[in-house]
Amino acid sequence: MNVTLVSFPRIPAIRTLQPEGSTGTSGNSHVGAYVSDLVVTLPAVPDTAFDASSGSVAPRPAQLAFDDLDTPLYDTTFVVVDLETTGTSPERDAITEIGAVKVRGGEVLGEFATLVDPGCAIPPQVVHITGITTAMVMEAPRIDAVLPGFLEFAAGSVLVAHNARFDTGFLKAAAARCAAAWPAFQVLCTVQLARRILARDEAPTVRLSALAQLLGASTRPTHRALDDARATVDVLHALIERVGNQGVHSLTELVDYLPEVSRRQRSKRFLAADLPGAPGVYLFRGPSEEVLYIGTAVHLRRRVRSYFTGSETRTRMREMVALATRVDHVRCAHGLEAGVRELRLLVAHTPPYNRRSKFPKRAWWLTLTAEPFPRFAITRTPTWDALGPFGSRNDAAEIAATVAEYCGVRTCTTRIPRHGRHGADCPPAAVGGCPAGTTGELRDAADYASAPRSVRELFTGGGDAVLRVIRDRIETYSAAEHFEAAARLRDRLTAVVRALRRTQRLAAVARLAELIAARPDGSGGWEFAVIRYGRLAAAGTAARGVSPMAVVESLVASAETVIPAMLDAGAPSTHRPSARIAGDPGDGLPQRRSECDGSSGDLIPASRPGSPGIVGDFERSHASQGMPAETLELPLTPASDATDLLADPRYPPLRGASPEETALIARWLEQPGTRIVRTTDGYHEPRLGAGHWLRWLERAEAAARTEFAANDYLAHT
């Protein structure tokens, strides 16, 4: 038997240099940065080998390159990083500490650790968790001074983190704020790796502290960045050892191992071969030509191809792909058309693998009953003064309880005749009693009429007196230091404002007979949408150099005819005269008329203080881009109609349009850069509607989030 002996010279150990006086350990007072100087000498490998059978030196057999074998895990450089932050939002919060360990082949090559000045006070609940106080970071460097050093330390390596989405999200946000390019790191998440490798019986939780104890990590996590990074290194090595006997020896094999992609799933990649690289809707079809799943994409071929690779981890989707035999598509002009077509196809086909297609028409509305003493009813069919839609009946019931309490709407179920009186059977001012009977006095229909009238004014934007009463009650509780009661009422008012805003925002779009909007496509052209009564009637684009108005007129001529649903089919439909809005002179769009032709009365710009509207957002977004704000004024609205335009008794709030489709259109209109080309009426929300309360709503939601900040922080670290 021939034996070939190969002799390799010993490779010297990699040396890690640390600052003088450093102990290399982490504590609560650890400040500073460890930067590794890697000194590696690789001797040349001999090109020949000794043949024991012949006693001669023979040429070395050819060896496969790493490109053929993929990068072995023992030769892959990992930088394991952990962050401490002031909260859980990369947009609102900041980094307070960075810790990273560079490893390759099981050896530590270097460490990087530093405190970071977040530029703000560290919340008490975060101090309690991490031990990092505002005083500790006052003399620390800012992130713009730290980030370049970290990126240099991690260059060319695979970034590893426990819950990598959290850490990389903060690092990317910091890079964006520092105007620094974010390198194309390959990222590995030890949470995802642990869930794939460890059975749930063995590891009920994948928190870092639990995994470190389970897998015997030498470092205990302490919610300090370097300690947690060191613990994550031990967890990573232990998990890699678990998969070594399953044929996972390279980085590519480890990445492919994570999503558990079957060979059958990969074999169906050909289904995406003929799809275009354009926006549209795709439909997976089964063996009997039934539609299994419907989705949208800005790049059809790339999106559908992802279902056959490791990026698709949903069990339901893998099951759907196994059944699919064909992928159909509908090419669309832009993302809005794709989203609308998806919604309509979901209603038409109700595919089994789309979660939201199970009950596409299920929605609840809060209305007043048609009786002499109206009370709230929760129904599927909206009336002209209804509030909704709600996703669940319980949500509608909670809003009804709050509004009834402060508007004085009765909650008793007794039927009262027209000439009867309310209060005879209702307990006076007791807990759980009827809100309309708090005084204990008998009330006829005329006395009671103010209650439903205040509800209609609230729902349709005619007045916000009820909201101000609730806000004053919150302030009274706070002044009396009844903070728990104030917080509960704040959350109830928040829910009411959200519901009002949703209805009024959608009704503002649905009431317009026609609205034509344009958005820049990012390449010098335009995306157009023709919207009629809350539905998308036509969509198109105008490439750079093409006259946009010619495209607009063509779309209008070929647009779908939309007839709004009416509560009284015999009532005639009238529309206001046309008003136009345009952008800058010379962009090809028509210039805005200074007034609404044919209208009478005092004209009030809808952008005036206290009258928020979507086009007001357009004005702010364009002004931030250097465009003159005065060229983007809102349509003018007669003062006499300012509070009643959204409350026409002939129509339901959305004129029969799908709430999902109208909401999708409203979101598209709110995007920065969107301009109104033409509309049959002023596009605005009611002056005294919920839009006036958005700033209060933001503050209330921020206050509600703070009490959960500690739990969220623990859940994401």
β-pair type (48-51, 280-285): unpaired
State the Cα–Cα distance between residues 84 and 122, nearest whole angstrom: 11
Q: Do 237 and 269 sit in the same domain of this protein?
A: no
- In a domain, residue 52? The reply is no
pLDDT tens digits for 479-512? 999 988 999 999 999 999 999 999 999 999 999 9
pLDDT-derived band at 253 (thresholds 50, 70, 90) equals confident
Q: Which long-range contacts (CB under 8 A, 24 or more apart) does 311-315 make?
A: 311/259, 312/259, 312/261, 312/265, 313/259, 313/260
What does DSSP say about strands 158-161 and 77-85: parallel, antiparallel, or unpaired?
parallel
Check whether 429 has a pLDDT greater than 70: no
280 belongs to a structural domain: yes
135 and 223 both lie in a single domain:
yes
Q: Are residues 540 and 662 in the same domain?
A: yes
Q: Describe the strand order of the beta sheet including 107-115 as a list of residue ranges.
A: 107-115, 95-104, 77-85, 158-161, 186-189
The first and second tokens of residue 540, run together, are 């198109």
Q: Reply yes or no on whether the pLDDT at 52 is more than 80.
A: no
User: Of the residues 255, 280, 312, which one is the last residue of a structural domain?
Assistant: 255
The neighbour count for residue 513, using CB atoms within 10 Å, is: 18
**Close Cβ partners of 530 (under 8 Å, ≥ 6 residues apart):** 514, 515, 516, 536, 537, 538, 539, 555, 556, 559
- Burial of residue 499 (CB within 10 Å: 0-12, 13-18, 19+) is buried
Are 547 and 415 contained in the same domain? no
- My answer on whether 174 and 320 are in the same domain is no
Q: Classify residue 706: in a domain, yes or no.
A: no
Q: Is the backbone of residue 454 left (phi > 0), alpha (psi -120 to 50) or beta?
A: alpha
Residue ending a domain, among 349, 381, 403, is 349
Q: Is the pLDDT of residue 343 over 60?
A: yes
Token pair for 578: 């046309």
Please determine, for residue 126, whether its predicted confidence score (pLDDT) is greater than 80: yes
Mean of pLDDT values over 325-337? 96
Whether 223 sits among the annotated catalytic residues: the reply is: yes
Residue 269: predicted pLDDT = 80
pLDDT score, position 715: 64
Q: How much is the pLDDT for 199?
A: 85
Residues 428 and 460 in one domain: yes
Residues 532, 466 within the same domain: no
Q: Indicate if 240 and 279 belong to the same structural domain.
A: no
Separation of alpha carbons 571 and 575, rounded Å: 13
Question: What band does 6 get if pLDDT is binned at 50, 70 and 90?
Answer: very low
* Residue 392 covered by a domain: yes
Average pLDDT, the chain: 79
* Residue 335 shares a structural domain with residue 306: yes
- pTM for the model stands at 0.60
Of the candidates 30, 223, 329, 349, the residue annotated as catalytic is: 223
Q: Which two tokens stand for residue 396?
A: 């509608």
Lowest mean pLDDT of 222-236, 436-450, 599-613, name the range: 599-613
Which of 320, 349, 378 is the last residue in one of the domains? Answer: 349
Residues 6+ apart with CB under 8 A from 14: 38, 39, 40, 107, 109
Strands 291-297 and 158-161: unpaired
pLDDT above 70 for 168 = yes
User: Residue 333 maps to which CATH number?
Assistant: 3.40.1440.10
**Looking at the predicted structure, is the pLDDT value of residue 266 above 90?**
no
Q: Does 387 lie in the same domain as 334?
A: no
Residue 617 lies in a domain: no
Quick check: is 224 in a domain? yes
Examine the domain organization and report whether 345 and 211 are in the same domain: no
Enclosing domain of residue 428: 364-509
pLDDT beyond 80 at 397? yes
Instruction: Tell me, yes or no, whether 488 and 557 share the same domain.
Output: no
524-570 tens-digit pLDDT: 999 999 999 999 999 999 999 999 999 999 999 999 999 999 986 44
Domain CATH for 106: 3.30.420.10
Question: CA nearest 684: which of 632, 631, 629, 646?
Answer: 646
* % of the chain residues with pLDDT over 70: 74
- 67 in any annotated domain: no
The pairing of strands 186-189 and 158-161 is parallel
Question: Measured between alpha carbons, how far is 705 from 170 in angstroms, rounded to an integer?
Answer: 19
Which tokens sit at 339?
């989203």
577 within domain boundaries? no
Report the pLDDT averaged over residues 711-716. Answer: 64
Position 595 confidence tier, pLDDT thresholds 50, 70, 90: very low
Give me the mean pLDDT over the 11-36 stretch: 35
Total domain count, the chain: 4
